[in-house]
Amino acid sequence: MALYRRIESWDGPPSAMRGASGPMTITLPKDPVPVVGALLEATSALGIPRVDDHNAEAMAGDGCCAIANVNVAPDGTRVSTARAYLAPQMERPNLTVLTGATVRRVRIEGGRATGVEFESGGEIRLVEARREVVLSLGGIHTPKTLMLSGVGDEAELKRHGIEVAQRLPGVGGNFQDHILVGGCVFEYRTPEPPRNNSAEFTFFCKSDASLPSPDLQPMLEETAFGSEVTGPAYGLPTDPSLAFTLAPGLIRPKSRGRVSLTGARPEDPVRIDANFLSEAADVAALRIALELCREIGNSETLRPFVKRELMPGPLADAEQLTFLRNAAGTYFHQSCTARMGRDPMAVVDGSLKVYGVENLRVADASVMPAIAGGNTLAPCVLIGERASDLIAGDLGFAPRW
């Protein structure tokens, strides 16, 4: 919790769980779209309590509904991690930031990471590492880079003619992502353009009361939001002010996928087998989320805003299953593909160091053993903060907490 407080500067409702002096400015939308108030009322009427801050004490509960936190500065601009962490340090003489550069592989010699090969301006270059290399390329490109560097499942590496530097069969496996369904769409009575981050309402709840924590997180999308299949099939409007969407979301998926290579060249794309909805429990949970979103959108409370339901409408069981499979997509929270652990399928240890390769760490969502039960930005920043403390400790500096 100390790390989370260290990350943020929160200007919302006071809580001992929130930070006040960190680099990431976190706030609440000052003028959410009017339908948000009705969504809060309708959702709380179903027994999902309304709270002022879903990232405070409510996190330990069985669920809640709230206006979503946003990382927005007082001037209305987004506070990215680059703006919060890199921008203030750009003048440091020991920092070089290269944009438009593509990492090709980590150079590993004698079981030790010695540098990084990358392409910039059409030229392949090598930067040598005196201390260590830290990969922070995310849940897809971190395992790709590890495999191109010879770290991964031996059979897969040999299939692509890559020399094995370290056998770690878990690289690329255990792929997890939050599933976002596009979606339950409702036409406005009066057109309302999106505001702020266009997703100002969310709720957490359990698909099964016996679960230890919420597994569902539907989200408001302030436009008509469908998949590449469902959008055209239902003829959703392209004008963003004509409709809003309650998008069912699954945040504790049982399904597991894999990231694999398609070739030995850095420019060869990876193959992502997300394996969404391969577990019956995930399908059952999203059926519940779908009906919850439909119930809220069609409630009496929403009637002043809703002219009609555009998608999906009432569906028989088989039709609902087809709709879910056509509508299921990503929350863009890909993770867990170079996971931390102590078993043979683990890739990094508790210090984020890659097993069997000296001077190589990973600091991104790929190290998560299981995906976080909510949006992954804050956990990723936490992983980065923790990595910085671990590196500082190895260099003899005291941690900051």
Please, how many CA atoms are within 13 Å of residue 96, restricted to the half-sphere of its CB? 3
CB 111 within 8 A of CB 356: yes
CB 260 within 8 A of CB 271: yes
Q: Which member of 54, 141, 178, 333 is catalytic?
A: 333
Burial of 267 (0-12, 13-18, 19+ CB in 10 A): exposed
Rounded Cα distance, 325 and 322, in Å = 5
Our measurement of the distance from residue 115's CA atom to the centroid of its chain's CA atoms, rounded to an integer in Å, reads 29
What stretches of 246-344 show up as alpha helix (H) in DSSP? 280-297, 317-327
Determine how β-strand 258-261 pairs with β-strand 102-109. Answer: unpaired
Rounded Cα distance, 323 and 328, in Å = 8
DSSP assignment of 114-140? EEEEEEETTEEEEEE-SS-EEE--HHH
Amino acid in position 238: T
Known catalytic membership, residue 141: no
What amino acid positions are annotated as catalytic residues?
Answer: 333
